[in-house]
Chain A
Amino acid sequence: MSDAADLTIAEAGGRLRDGSLTAADLLDAVRRRASMTEAIIHGYLTIDHDGAAASAAEADAAFARGEDRGRLQGIPIALKDNMVTRGIETTASSRILAGWIPPYDATVVSRLRAAGAILYGKTNLDEFAMGSSTENSAYGPTRNPWDADRVPGGSSGGSAAVVAAGSAYAALGSDTGGSIRQPASLCGVVGMKPTYGLVSRYGLIAFASSLDQIGPIARTVDDAVTVFETIAGHDPYDATSYPGALPDVRTGLTEGVSGLRIGVLSELVSEGVEPAVAAAFQATLDRLAKAGAEISEVSLPTTKHALSAYYLLAPAECSANLARFDGVRYGPRLDGASVEQMMATTRRDGFGPEVTRRILLGTYALSAGYYDAFYGQAQKVRTLVVQEFRQAYQQVDVLVTPTSPTTAFALGARAADPLAMYLSDVCTIPSNLSGDPAISVPVGLDEDGLPIGFQVLGPALGDAMVFRVARAIEELSGFDSRAALASSEGAV
């Protein structure tokens, strides 16, 4: 590949260190790629040209001084716009935060800065991370680089799209019900959701506090590991962050799958799965078996109810998390004769329909008389899901499913029916409820040339295992996503 924008982080890192490329060159490559693709895919909401240039200069100066802060030094990274960045507009793709300039950085942002990464820009998402297509953004949808008439998935659609398009080397996304993995799958890139508690949520604009996790979107599993290592680890500013030892996800990364027990999660591999997706899934299983893995079928009946529990839990928490958007201390304000009116009008004007719908749903699920039947019950169902997964991992090392039952659907195809949209998350939601790690790896294309993702689920704190199996699949499938996109006809 002659274009530096198509390098992996590992490759770019090598070129930075052997002197054949500078950080400024990498930034330049990304800028050029963005100028060619952004008009169509609209992955970015904000690009911090000056900040990025300054960081690139600083990274190059550091290299010259012999200072090497690690694999991300000098690498341009994109951030989903629900992560707070000091001095750079942060909107969560909502009008209620239009023009908001935060006075602080999210912890993951501080860690990336400290590692010498170049923070290139903020990417588009479904408003407040609620959605599976990025069509719920108040600033216009993002289009799939593989086919501009199709969605990139969501809610981290912008992050997945720019990584696929090459206008960032990697990106951070957030995953509450599949929002890293599903768009990664639809855009043919790697997307990983860490064990809940491994990555700080301080500075992540909250959707559902007990489900949200920040994770990497990258072109290769190795790159995803690099980003994970940089952002993960206990944070004293997040009480829910795990205080124990951070799993070492790099040491055993290339150990392969021989002797590993792989369980096919039977409830999630049949219903509504497109034939091409099913075929690619099976083909991958065959390769894994040939490589020495032991494949079996595992039934987890509670996963059938995971979607329902999720659609009570997540909106309930979000209804409280979004109460702070009231026009009092930040964001635009619509005046009113009283503060109550001001708040109600500001919120009415500032929130889109999906967000409004979920706030209403959540408020209802928590209200007096309904708490036990809805929210209270959903919390208990969550425990049943956790217990079932824990039991399963006594029999297998990982569980596998297709990441999404379908490939990228057309813009507007599901917008009218919220329930249909919610069903796109059926394979990804269970691991948000359990808090366990999960990853999506691209394994092939369907007959329309659209990417198919394969999902690996692991036990709590089994992030290393999840990365290891994904790495093996990446190698075994021999699928070069970047090359496929470059030669694809529908591509941007």
Chain B
Amino acid sequence: MTYEVIIGIETHVELRTRSKMFCRCTVDFGADPNTNVCPTCLGLPGALPVPNEQAIEWTIALGLALGSAVATRSVFHRKNYFYADLPKNYQISQYDVPLCAGGHLDVEVDGVTSRVGITRVHLEEDTGKSTHIGGDGRIHGASGVRLDFNRSGIPLMEVVTEPDIRSPEVARAYAQELQTIVIALGVSDARLEEGSMRFDANVSLRPAGATELGTKVEVKNMNSLRSLQRALAFEIDRQTRMLDAGERIAQETRHWDEANGRTDPGRSKEESSDYRYFQEPDLLPLEIDEATLARLGASLPELPAARRLRYVDAGVDPAAARTIVSGNLDRLLDDAIDAGVDARSSANWLAGEVTAHLNREGMDAGDLGLDGAGLAELVTMVTEGALSATAAKDVLAGVFAGEGTPRQVAASRDLMQVSDEGALRDMVEAAMAANPDESQRLRDGEERLLGFFVGQVLAASGGKADPGRVASLVRDIASQ
């Protein structure tokens, strides 16, 4: 039996505002626990929330970037439930009048474009952090819980997709594209390992051709793009087997276990939550005027899709463009292009060697020891023949190791090719003079002796002659 896969993704994005969503506490990851707190984010009696203008504008900006309709009037609601890391035992969130509604994101996987509809983008506050002591740090079997409210009240954007995603690959591509957009907008660091971007997915299966949706299973705790893809693949497989065996899928929340590569059932709830949403009486309705929308729309930066297009138009290979944009190497490429070097070659270096290095070292683009000027220098040296492609890779390694600029590294590691016309010519003439028979045979038309002379010159130069240049010089001199 073939099944159609229906996936929807909910993404939470922590905003990198300077202060929290409803209070003026500092937003600062890694601070000493319970030091970035105040009456409001601790839920002390008498405290009140006051909304952060920047968080609202950034949420609107994301909506605009996704093609959403921005509400002219939006309100906050209280979402009521008891949880120890939720200080007021309600979360200030949005319910039926979110800031942004509708929109879409187009993602490409293996040349096929899928459109993922966006249901809504809304704004809410984050909760505190709970750490379970005892057991193995997981919820079950703990002997107590430690609470840190530094995170409580940090602005959180929630992006919900329509159930338009049909495969784990598209899910991953969507997640990656959303991450790239969010970073491009400058509203979040969007680091999955740190939790500043978090995904929950809903997965259901239905027999191909059926119209009714299958039972939805929620999957949580996917802390990387790879986890997201793996978890969804596992879940699809699990549900497929069950359906094939005639078993019923339970509607539940499951947690992804990265170490063991499986989803496990979460806490069972004796009854579904009744959040008793009502409009937040401590806050005023938001009215967003045309002027604000126009200002925010005009100040949107170049978005990833547009950027990829621009690179491709400049001659960059599409796959390389994709890698560069999603890997945050665009600044480097733009700087190199500004410095006058060829876009395509620069892009190939970035998408190839540089990205490989980042992946090997588990680094971010921001931590690279290479800047646009350096890249431009490297590409220029290769184009001019001062470096062979192989030598250039070594130079790059040296730059990453902090040995200096490409020129400095090439010099200190003695990787420069001889490309001086005169010096090469001398070496070719010397080689030809030293091998009169072969020279004559070459002149008479034995083409394959070209390689022999290139080899001679390379040996004589200690491998530093540019073979391409040598070959053309040999041909040139032989034809005289």
Contacts and interface: CB of A to CB of B under 8 A. Distances in A.
Nearest to B34: A329
B234 interface: no
Interface in A275-322: 316-317, 320
A235 B458 CA distance: 81
A316 B51 CA distance: 23
Interface in A344-384: 363, 366-368, 371, 375
B84 interface: yes
B274 A320 contact: no
Interface in B255-292: 274, 276, 278, 281-284
Nearest to A375: B278
B284 A240 contact: yes
Nearest to B82: A343
Interface in A319-344: 320, 323-326, 328-330, 339-340, 343
B50 A237 contact: yes
A323 B44 contact: no
Nearest to A205: B45
A238 B46 contact: no
A237 B84 contact: no
A326 B89 contact: yes
B231 interface: no
Interface residues of B, number: 28
A482 interface: no
B281 A324 contact: no
B45 A90 contact: yes
A317 B49 contact: no
A151 interface: no
Contact of B46 (A205, A326, A371): A205
A442 to B, nearest CB: 30
Interface string B29-54: 00000000001001111111111000
Interface of chain B, main secondary structure: loop
Contacts of A103: 39, 44
A433 B274 CA distance: 27
B275 to A, nearest CB: 8
A324 B282 CA distance: 15
A160 interface: no
B82 A240 contact: no
Contacts of B283: 239-240
A103 B44 CA distance: 9
A488 interface: no
A266 interface: no
A228 B200 CA distance: 51
B102 interface: no
A204 B89 contact: no
Given A240-B283, A366-B278, A324 B50 contact: no
B172 interface: no
B46 A83 contact: yes
A324 B45 CA distance: 8
Interface string B278-317: 1001111000000000000000000000000000000000
20 contacts: A97-B45, A208-B281, A237-B50, A239-B50, A239-B283, A240-B48, A316-B278, A320-B88, A320-B276, A320-B278, A323-B80, A323-B90, A328-B84, A329-B43, A330-B45, A339-B145, A343-B84, A368-B274, A368-B276, A375-B278
Give me the 3 closest cross-chain CB pairs, A-B, nearest first: A323-B89, A366-B276, A209-B281
